[in-house]
Chain A
Amino acid sequence: GQQLNQSPQSMFIQEGEDVSMNCTSSSIFNTWLWYKQDPGEGPVLLIALYKAGELTSNGRLTAQFGITRKDSFLNISASIPSDVGIYFCAGQIWSGTYKYIFGTGTRLKVLA
């Protein structure tokens, strides 16, 4: 199935550091979503972006909808151990119906 390019694939960081990850595509998207998934659970919505150029924050998380509508990034500031998990981007395309395409995920590990 189709998946978005997400990078990095994984990262180890020290507690307190800032983290940045991004998602790119050759297609234009109407909406970008960012999710976090813990082992054995479903993805949990972090941030939703609806307009090109939009910058939205949720606590220590900030995400932006790229101007070209083909990319998005997520920043986490001052990481803490509970930030560990897999982060997925998802872009919405219109193909007669609304459908979301997910990224391949960024696995984050935070070292205390």
Chain B
Amino acid sequence: QSVLTQPPSASGTPGQKVTISCSGSSSNIGSNIVNWYRLLPGTAPKLLIYSNNQRPSGVPDRFSGSRSGTSASLAISGLQSEDEADYYCAAWDDSLNVVVFGGGTKLTVL
């Protein structure tokens, strides 16, 4: 059971917009920045969004993040087949003094 809750799966067709949610609590998302990572089989995790809504250089502006209260979300617009991957949210938890990850969301492009 992950401290941060994500839907196990999401899907969309090419060109659509998909949103992945991440629910936490006041000790993690409610008081610390949220970061999003993408994981493709056999490859290293890649940072997609940091500090709730900032994109590292090289990440397309199709990817956007937001945070409100104890929840966060990752939006992917103009869905492409290469967006098929597992997506994870992560934050520091002040009560546990650890990094907490969501359980991951498997995105399928239909």
Whether A associates with B in a native complex is no
Interface residues of B (CB under 8 A from A): none
